[in-house]
Structure 1
Amino acid sequence: MEENKLEAFWDGAVRGDAEAQFQMAMKYIYGDGVDEDNEKAVELLHKASMQGHIEAQYNLGVCYHYGYGTKVDYKIAFELYKKSALQGYAKGKCLVGFFYFHGLYVKQDYAEAIKWFLEAEEQNDAAAEYWLGVCYANGYGVTQNKAEAIKWYQKSASQGYPYAQKALEDILRM
């Protein structure tokens, strides 16, 4: 059954189906039914991304962000994250915020980061909620507020986000 599914994805990818290209790319990234091959994944993600596939755009951004199957390129990563974010993809919104928070490719801007984190949080993005907690815990772009930080860490931790769970433990000990 799994072999037939893999064959169907591959046939679709070869025919230019963006969803099939995305699914095959993810299989190459994780070595799911195929040998792990990040370069092949990047090639397929690029093809799907060019057709407007939002998750492919985001995941191709991840590849450029961390250098999976390609060289690290923050400019391309940011542009891909933003492209997915502007189409409503929560993870893309969070990563745009992350880039502003850390000043990767763009000028560091905590207020802009918070704007993107809040947009992602509206879609219950646990990572964005964690980063909002970080902002409130440390006064990045907002007035430092322990209660507000705890609120965001709890919201993120309740979704199983490990960094938020650790941050919540730490802030509650203070």
Structure 2
Amino acid sequence: MYEKSVADVKFINGEYTAAAEMYLEGAREGDAVASFNYGYCLWQGLGIPRNPTEAKSFFAYARDLEGGEAAYNLAMLYLHGDGVTRDYKKALEYMKISAEQGAVEAQLYLGMAYTSGCMFEPDVIGISLIPYHTPIYRDRYMLLEGECEFSEEDEALRYEAVKQDARLAFEWFREASRHDSTYVEELVAKGKYLYAMCYVDGLGTDFDRDKSVRLMLAAGRFGSPEALAYIAENGITENMLEGRQERTLKGR
């Protein structure tokens, strides 16, 4: 009988073959998380030969997981043509599913994709669930096959797949900012910073100096390096916010 905790311990200890066998057993029993984890082993070639095409089937079985991890990885397969035919529109569809299921990685991706009007290359190239939700960053892992192999024609397809939409960008940055500190803190901090910048730049919403200051300070308290740099460069302090509140009260 499949035991997730035992399989996860084996994976963490580097016993990838044994872990993969246990995840496959769980997948055969109908466990969606086990299916996801076996798909992840197939995708990365951990304990078993790398097979992104087969990984797709196991991710697809787990696509309804609440955290959006499986849908995000499916989006990455189609974005990079890794084991499937590259399809930016299908990548966008899976990215939307992932974002709606709550993955901050997908929410940030959509915010930036709708800002730029392009299916760009993300810093997070996948998500693991061993032992819990963990983003896989580009600079910490090998590039996926075919990830950087695209022509000028292919680049045009990236722009055709998604249209610029400032309001949708604003809405997804707002969603990304709403996660708490227990959920991929560095990415939530980035979401809070980008949400604040929407009010700085008037992206998808009205310019609002007071709200941008309040949100930027919140992003800084959350540890966003971009927010902290912006605060320092613009001389923003908590007193500025307090002073605005006092002037507002006096004006009533």
Mark yes or no: TM-score above 0.5.
Answer: yes
Deviation at 1:67, TM superposition (A): 4.5
Give the ranges of 4+ consecutive aligned residues of structure 1 lying more than 6 Å apart after TM superposition.
none
Q: Match for residue 103 of structure 1?
A: 117
Mapped partners of 1:34, 1:99: distance in 2? 34
Q: Any gaps of 5 or more consecutive residues in structure 2?
A: 1-8, 119-160, 181-187, 235-252
Give the equivalent residue in structure 1 for 2:153: none
1:173 matches 2:233: yes
CA distance 1:156–1:45, shift in 2 (3 Å): farther
Percent of aligned pairs with the same residue?
31
Identify if the C-alpha distance between structure 1 residues 69 and 146 changes in structure 2 by more than 3 Å, giving closer, same or farther.
farther
* Distance change >3 Å, CA 77–CA 159, structure 1 → 2: farther
Aligned residues: 169
Alpha carbons 1:136, 1:142 under 8 Å: kept:
yes
The equivalent of 2:177 in structure 1 is: 121
CA shift, 1:27, in A, is 3.2
Distance 2:216 2:177 in 1: 12
Which structure ranks higher in relative contact order (CA pairs < 8 Å, sequence separation ≥ 6)?
Answer: 2
Q: Aligned pair 1:81/2:95, yes or no?
A: yes
Deviation readout 1:36-85 (Å, 9 max, x if unpaired): 55444334323322xx2332112211333345444543211221121233
Give the corresponding residue for 2:24: 10
Name 2:137's counterpart in structure 1: none
Question: Are residues 155 and 72 of structure 1, via their aligned partners in 2, closer, same or farther at CA, if it must alter by over 3 Å?
Answer: farther
Mapped partners of 2:44, 2:222: distance in 1: 23
- 2: CA distance, partners of 1:134 / 1:30: 36
Which residues of 2 match residues 17-28 of structure 1 at below 5 A?
A: 17-28=31-42
> 2:177 is matched by which residue type in structure 1?
E
Any stretches of 5+ residues in structure 1 without a counterpart?
Answer: none
1:132 counterpart = 2:191: no
Q: TM-score of the superposition, structure 2-length normalised? A: 0.52
1:105-143: per-residue Cα shift (whole Å, max 9, x none)? 232111121112212322243332232244344333345
Q: Quick check: which one's helix share is greater?
A: 1
Contact 1:153 1:165 in 2 (8 A): no
Contact 1:114-1:141 within 8 A present in 2 as well: yes
Alpha-carbon shift at residue 18 of structure 1 (Å): 2.2
Paired AA for residue 203 in structure 2: Y
2:75 alignment partner in structure 1: 61
Q: CA RMSD in A?
A: 3.3
In 2 relative to 1, CA 66–155 (structure 1 residues): closer, same or farther, beyond 3 Å?
Answer: farther
Write the distance in 2 (CA, Å) between the matches of 1:140 and 1:165: 21
State which structure, 1 or 2, has the greater radius of gyration over its C-alpha atoms. Answer: 2
Which amino acid counterpart does residue 86 of structure 1 have in structure 2? Answer: E
